[in-house]
Structure 1
Amino acid sequence: MDKIKILVVDDESRMRKLVHDFLAREGYEVVEAADGEEALDIFYSDKEISLIVLDVMMPKINGWEVCREIRKISKLPIIMLTAKGDESDELNGFEIGADEYISKPFSPKILVARVTALLRRANKIGETADIREAGGIVMDKTAHTVAIDGQNIDLSVKEFELLDYFMNNRGIALSRERILDSVWSYDYFGDARTIDTHVKKLRSKMGTKGDYIKTVWGVGYKFEI
């Protein structure tokens, strides 16, 4: 089997090498870009890229703009890196379509773990078909697709996982903290409003079926038909 290819984008050569070395040790093939412009050139020319580790503050084109551009045509998993600790930056990252957000300095081992988790969820090739249905929603976890009343909808990796979690826990009131712990699958130190951002986007993409995701005041959310 060919190696999974990951694009690492950072204007600091030492940071690129650090991430490159840790990912390579896990058997990933790594390509590098030193700025946003080079990153987009590689993204458009290399169709084998499976995931992008993307720094925010870069010359020419910053990480936010790179993420926005990629999201116009691709659901490729994106992990954003930043030296900023402002929660508004993190919320902005999720709003434009980032799947994960890591603040510098960070543990390379944690980064590798998140890369592996995202790839595992986004690439289900070869697995037994796993289909879930509820209220006109058909989720094919093997193909990583969701159809509503026969029409496919385009979800990011995290939106897909969030809907999967809601459908798995139908009729149960779920706190934001519980959702973060279960869907993000790691110790999360950011603002629980991240959940609200994802739920808002998910509801919008689901159209009238978005009403299935009900707000439980003082608690969180509940999926109910």
Structure 2
Amino acid sequence: MSKIIIVDDSATMRSQVRQALAAGNFQLVEAVDGQDGLDKVNADPDISVMILDVNMPRMNGIELAEALSKNGRVAKGLKIVMLTTEGHADLIQRAKAAGAKGWIVKPFKPDLLLAAVQKMAA
């Protein structure tokens, strides 16, 4: 069973992502902001996919992806999917440079998110 972390400062959005992934038979972990996400990913080598918002307090999603790229976690197989209201090309490029494999704009289609995460967790 793959372990997935949902990093979003919105409890409502974390709940919606959790519901979208319910059919996927994943073990789900939640983080309330970028710093919380960084701490949880660094503490748990079993997390294989991260669903990551961009706009969050303490550390935004791009900064988190860059930190995980720099510390080697992405190189060790962590897959990152950005799930955000942002669609700016410069942010997408920064996320890709940090190792993000997908970019999904909110509001999202639950079946598309599930399919993307299933592909990355395989």
TM-score (norm 2): 0.90
Q: Work out the CA distance in 2 between the residues paired with 1:92 and 1:47.
A: 24
Q: Structure 2 residue aligned with 1:115, among 107, 114, 117?
A: 117
Which letter maps to 1:9? V
Cα root mean square deviation, aligned:
1.1
Q: Please name the residue that 1:74 is paired with.
A: 73
Q: Structure 2 residue aligned with 1:42, among 40, 43, 53?
A: 40
Q: What is the aligned length? A: 118
8 Å contact kept, 2:2–2:121: no
Regions of 4+ moved over 6 Å? none
8 Å contact kept, 2:20–2:114: yes
Matches within 5 A, 1:187-202: none
8 Å contact kept, 2:66–2:95: no
For structure 1, list consecutive stretches of 5 or more residues without a partner in the other structure. Answer: 121-225
Q: Work out the CA distance in 2 between the residues paired with 1:103 and 1:39.
A: 20
Matches within 5 A, 1:163-202: none
For structure 2, list consecutive stretches of 5 or more residues without a partner in the other structure. Answer: none
Indicate the percent of aligned positions where both proteins have the same amino acid. Answer: 38
Q: Cα offset for 1:85?
A: 2.4
Which letter maps to 2:86? K
Bigger RCO (CA 8 Å, 6+ sep): 2
Q: Structure 2 residue aligned with 1:19, among 11, 17, 35?
A: 17
8 Å contact kept, 1:24–1:30: no
Helix, strand or coil at the partner of 1:92:
helix
